[in-house]
Amino acid sequence: MLHVVDGVRIGVAQAGIRKADRKDLTVVLIDEGSSVSGVFTQNRFCAAPVQVCREHLDKGTGIRAMVVNTGNANAGTGAEGLRRARETCVALAKLLHIEPNQVLPFSTGVIMEQLPHDRVIAGLPAAIAAAGNHASAQQWVEAAEGIMTTDTVPKAASTQVQIDGVTVSVTGISKGAGMIRPNMATMLGYVATDACVTPAVMKALSLALAEGSFNRITVDGDTSTNDSFVVIATNKASHAPINSLQSAEGQALLQAMLQVARQLAQAIVRDGEGATKFITIRVEGGRHTAECRQVAYAIAHSPLVKTAFFASDPNLGRILAAVGYAGITDLDQTGIDLYLDNVHVAIQGGRHPDYREEDGQRVMQQAEITVRVVLGRGTAADTVWTCDLSHDYVSINADYRS
């Protein structure tokens, strides 16, 4: 069940951006007085809409609308791509009687093709009309479908939390299935709440949510040119404004929003192109969380590890090899333990004397698997979510533009 977020209205339309007869244009209308923050890709070859979003958020004039198109990423398009992204903002602003820098543009799809912004602009009135005058849960459902590219299922999540005795709603959507390793700093994520949050807290809130969710997933290790994650607080709820994430109210909101963000992030992994298995990689016993995540990503990005999971082949030496080349130069292999779910595979860097291959294979055949590595270097820990690598991944990406 998705909850309505008072202050956010969404409309979806068909603009024929890449394919006919599909909803590919989404407009999000945000009430005046809302607080908005975003976190974006660290890919230096970032898309035109990412550049424009950063500019408009930096102006601090109050974001009132977002426009999202699928089918074309408007990345690798140079000065002309920037011009088209800005013209889209101008067109939507004119229709809504707001300023262009109060609009955030987003694009996802094929790279190095100019955005057919004339089609985007022509579709804006229909999308605005679809948003209507009232917010509804169905609008979020349609938006989750409207921002899809190679996704096989729409991705949406929602929850509610009590803050100062007031019921606060949190709802979000995301898209992504391939070219996924958000490094925030091709996925899009939007999470909104009607909670009251001061503008000074919004940046910290969006960073904390990204770090705890979208920055913990990978499908193929490719950081997209278009990765964007936007957090909206409409300030409609009747509780006192949250001015610190460290307060009890701030922590309650953070945990509720983190629950939604993690559901959306994990849904991307579960829908990974050609994925058949969802894999949690937990690295413990590190000196700090950064090296734990470094090891986790080395395992998650290994084609040999990922294909072994697809084949349900307990060739688990591949995991130990990935731990070894993760880049920890003073790593002592005799301190490493490896677990596959509850099966103790390796102890002190060598095969556990009680480990049996049939036990490993039993776990490898599951749809959801946890890999746990203990480094024996300290008390830090971190987790990454990934998937296997199948024949279909190659087929999907070989035929992506056809």
HSE-CB of 299 using CA atoms within 13 angstroms: 27
380 and 289 Cβ atoms separated by less than 8 Å: yes
Structure tokens given for 161: 């939390």
DSSP state of 399: T
Is 186 considered catalytic here? Answer: yes
User: DSSP labels for 285-320?
Assistant: EESSHHHHHHHHHHHHH-HHHHHHHHTT---THHHH
* Residues 287, 291, 292, 297, Cα dihedral to 10°: -170
Reduced DSSP (H G I as helix, E B as strand, rest coil) percent helix, strand, coil of the chain, to 5:
35, 25, 40
Looking up tokens 């996924």 gives: 180
For the chain, count helices (H), then strands (E).
11, 15
From the list 186, 218, 225, 386, the catalytic residue is: 186
Closest CA to 90 of 79, 75, 77, 103: 103
Could you give the residue numbers annotated as active site? 186
